């Protein structure tokens, strides 16, 4: 972590390889870093690849993580996040096709789309997934090319069955699955993301509502 920039880039690539492994395996990784040994920029890049952070690390403007065949981006890709997005995207391992899913991002600006276009090539085309608004923006600024393809995704946004608020990707969540209640999150339980399941903010579970379960065991996944 104290090495040169190229060594740090290789570290970030390794982080993403382990993230990909964990997204398909029953494995949970815990990383520890010495704040005093890292610059602010390196702490920020590490935080972007570790969406669940603690010990005083400021929440990054966006998070990038593996989920099955794609890299998912959550948070905000605005002008202020553009340079960091370019740095982090440049560390993505090149061992498989590049698929970036922006359907869960809160905001995607044109700077981020230009950065994605820069990463696409004839040798490694880029598939971007997103909603209709993103498709219109791609067409408006003329980025659709054989190297950069766009795929429309209509992704349901999970909401709490008690309070009605949107449940975030990494928020502790209670879902009803296979007749039982499980404490999980959208990221830890990707198979449940797009299913029509009853789900609750952790704090809302068990509170009176017309759809709240009357019984069930909680298990940590």
Which pLDDT tens digit goes with each residue over 108-136? 988 999 999 998 888 889 999 987 778 77
Q: What is the CATH number of the domain that holds 51?
A: 3.30.750.24
Q: Which domain holds residue 109?
A: 5-152
Range among 2-6, 29-33, 191-195, 199-203 rated most confident: 199-203
User: Within this chain, do residues 26 and 115 fall inside the same structural domain, yes or no?
Assistant: yes
Residue ending a domain, among 100, 119, 152, is 152
Mean pLDDT value across residues 66-87: 88
Say how many CA atoms lie within 13 Å of 38 toward its Cβ. Answer: 15
Domains in the chain, number: 2
User: Within this chain, do residues 33 and 133 fall inside the same structural domain, yes or no?
Assistant: yes
Pairwise CA distance, residues 152 & 203, whole Å: 34
User: Within this chain, do residues 142 and 171 fall inside the same structural domain, yes or no?
Assistant: no
Confidence at residue 100, expressed as pLDDT on a 0 to 100 scale: 93
User: Within this chain, do residues 183 and 115 fall inside the same structural domain, yes or no?
Assistant: no
User: Within this chain, do residues 109 and 12 fall inside the same structural domain, yes or no?
Assistant: yes
Please check the confidence at residue 159 and state whether its pLDDT lies above 50: yes
Confidence at residue 112, expressed as pLDDT on a 0 to 100 scale: 92
User: Within this chain, do residues 112 and 133 fall inside the same structural domain, yes or no?
Assistant: yes
Structure tokens at 63: 């998070």
User: Within this chain, do residues 32 and 55 fall inside the same structural domain, yes or no?
Assistant: yes
Helix 82-89 × helix 110-119 angle, to 10°:
20
Type and span of the H or E element at 41: helix 40-48
Mean pLDDT value across residues 8-29: 72
User: Within this chain, do residues 147 and 105 fall inside the same structural domain, yes or no?
Assistant: yes
pTM equals 0.63
Q: What is the average pLDDT value for the chain, to the nearest integer?
A: 77
User: Within this chain, do residues 107 and 196 fall inside the same structural domain, yes or no?
Assistant: no
Residue ending a domain, among 130, 152, 174, is 152
Confidence at residue 33, expressed as pLDDT on a 0 to 100 scale: 66
Residue ending a domain, among 152, 176, 205, is 152
Structure tokens at 57: 């690390």
Pairwise CA distance, residues 28 & 30, whole Å: 7
Query: Is 75 within 8 Å of 46 (Cβ atoms)?
Result: no
User: Within this chain, do residues 111 and 202 fall inside the same structural domain, yes or no?
Assistant: no
Confidence at residue 78, expressed as pLDDT on a 0 to 100 scale: 92
């Amino acid at each position: 972590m104290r090495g040169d920039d190229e060594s740090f880039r290789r570290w970030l690539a390794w982080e993403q390889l382990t993230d990909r492994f964990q997204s398909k395996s029953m494995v949970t990784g815990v990383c520890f870093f010495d704040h005093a040994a890292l610059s602010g920029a390196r702490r920020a890049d590490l935080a972007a690849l570790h969406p669940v952070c603690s010990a005083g690390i400021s929440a990054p403007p966006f998070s990038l993580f593996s989920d099955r065949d794609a890299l998912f981006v959550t948070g905000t890709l605005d002008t202020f996040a553009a340079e960091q997005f370019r740095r982090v995207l440049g560390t993505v391992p090149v061992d498989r096709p590049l698929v970036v899913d922006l359907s869960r991002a809160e905001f995607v600006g044109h700077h981020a789309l230009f950065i994605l276009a820069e990463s696409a090539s004839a040798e490694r085309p880029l598939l971007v997934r997103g909603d209709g608004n993103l498709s219109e923006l791609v067409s408006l600024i003329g980025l659709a090319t054989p190297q950069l393809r766009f795929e429309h995704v209509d992704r349901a946004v999970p909401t709490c069955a008690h309070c009605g608020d949107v449940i975030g990707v990494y928020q502790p969540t209670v879902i009803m699955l296979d007749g039982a209640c499980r404490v999980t999150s959208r990221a830890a339980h990707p198979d449940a993301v797009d299913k029509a399941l009853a789900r609750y903010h952790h704090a809302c579970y068990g509170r009176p509502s017309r759809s709240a379960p009357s019984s069930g065991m909680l298990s940590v996944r």
